Amino acid sequence: MPYVMAVTSGKGGTGKSSICTGLGYSLAKQGNRTLIIEMDFGLRCIDIMLGMTGKLKGDLGDVLDGKLAAMDAITTTESANNLNILCAPENPFSFVTAEQIAEICQSVKKYYDYIIIDTGAGINSHVFDIVTQADLILAVTTPDQICVRDVRMISDEFYRRGNQRQRLIINKLHMRNVQSDMIKNLDEIIDTIGVQLIGCIPEDYELVMSLGKGKPIPYTTPSMIAFDAISKRIQGNDVPLTI
Ligand SMILES: Nc1ncnc2c1ncn2[C@@H]1O[C@H](COP(=O)(O)OP(=O)(O)OP(=O)(O)O)[C@@H](O)[C@H]1O
Ligand SMILES: [Mg+2]
């Protein structure tokens, strides 16, 4: 069975799609057959981040319309042959249910070790259902207080719906957060959200430049080192948390 992870947050722009891409690279590099399903309708970006614009065999819309079988709509990326994508439909009004996503996962599961589901900002109730059913919810926040409060509300809702399998990622951490005592406050962030931390990702200009150009994030950049550590933890390895 593939392990299905959903990456979510309250606010937009916290870095969900970048994290899906970074974790995708990392899991694939570590030998895992990995699929990213982009559930952000109308705001497709994973194809850009992975340098696959104009090269997709199909998208989620083709599957939902019955034009293509899920396996025929999935495209293997050129930068990592273990990393595959099923991008969001071009039509922003496409409609998907948790059952349809479960069916897609079911039909492709034997080909993958990890399926990562990217979600959009302000996720709708159907995407909520899909995230609720994930094996692991990765809740993403930045150190910003408003972002922290919003992800707490989202996470609480998943707890209410019965999914306790949640981990927190704090993204876009910067030295100024350290200097302004934010690090002391990391505990406070974790306590406020009530989800165990699985990793922090530094603010990293190289990530912005690489993904903006559709190039792999270089292995030695701080964000890629953080993605590698998080993906190892997801695989059950004991990797110490570093900030
Ligand atoms: N660790 C990071 N360091 C610096 N910039 C980052 C980092 N993570 C993400 N970003 C930048 O933040 C912006 C938003 O990132 P991204 O699109 O991944 O967020 P998102 O949560 O998927 O947004 P949306 O809610 O619109 O789907 C992008 O410009 C991205 O390059
Ligand atoms: Mg996104």
Q: What is the pLDDT of residues 9-37, one digit of tens each?
A: 988 899 999 999 999 999 999 999 999 99
Is residue 11 lining ligand 1, measured as CB closer than 6 Å?
Answer: no
Is residue 204 lining ligand 1, measured as CB closer than 6 Å?
Answer: yes
Give residue 171 CA to ligand 1 midpoint distance, Å: 9
Report field, pTM of the whole predicted structure over 0.75: yes
**Terminal Cα distance for the chain, rounded:** 33
Structure confidence at residue 189 (pLDDT): 86
Angstrom distance (rounded) from CA 168 to CA 154: 12
Q: In what order do the strands lie in the sheet with 3-8?
A: 75-76, 83-86, 34-39, 114-119, 3-8, 136-141, 166-173, 197-202
| Tokens matching residue 200 | 């922090």
The Cβ of residue 241 has, within 10 Å, a number of other Cβ atoms equal to 12
Is residue 58 lining ligand 1, measured as CB closer than 6 Å?
Answer: no
Angstrom distance (rounded) from CA 124 to CA 152: 17
Structure confidence at residue 92 (pLDDT): 73
Query: What is the DSSP secondary structure assignment for residue 44, as one 8-state letter?
Result: -
- The closest-lying atom of ligand 1 relative to the alpha carbon of residue 11 is 25
Class of domain 3-234: alpha beta
Amino acid letter, 3: Y
Is residue 8 lining ligand 1, measured as CB closer than 6 Å?
Answer: no
Low pLDDT (below 70) residues in the chain? 1, 42, 122-124, 178-184, 243
- Among 115, 127, 185, smallest CA distance to 9 is for 127
The residue to mutate among 9, 11, 18, having the most atoms of ligand 1 within 8 angstroms of its beta carbon, is 18
Give yes or no for a contact between 186 and 141, defined as CB atoms under 8 angstroms apart.
no
Give residue 209 CA to ligand 2 midpoint distance, Å: 16
Query: What is the DSSP secondary structure assignment for residue 143, as one 8-state letter?
Result: S
Angstrom distance (rounded) from CA 172 to CA 11: 14
Residue ID of nearest Cα to ligand 1 atom 25: 12
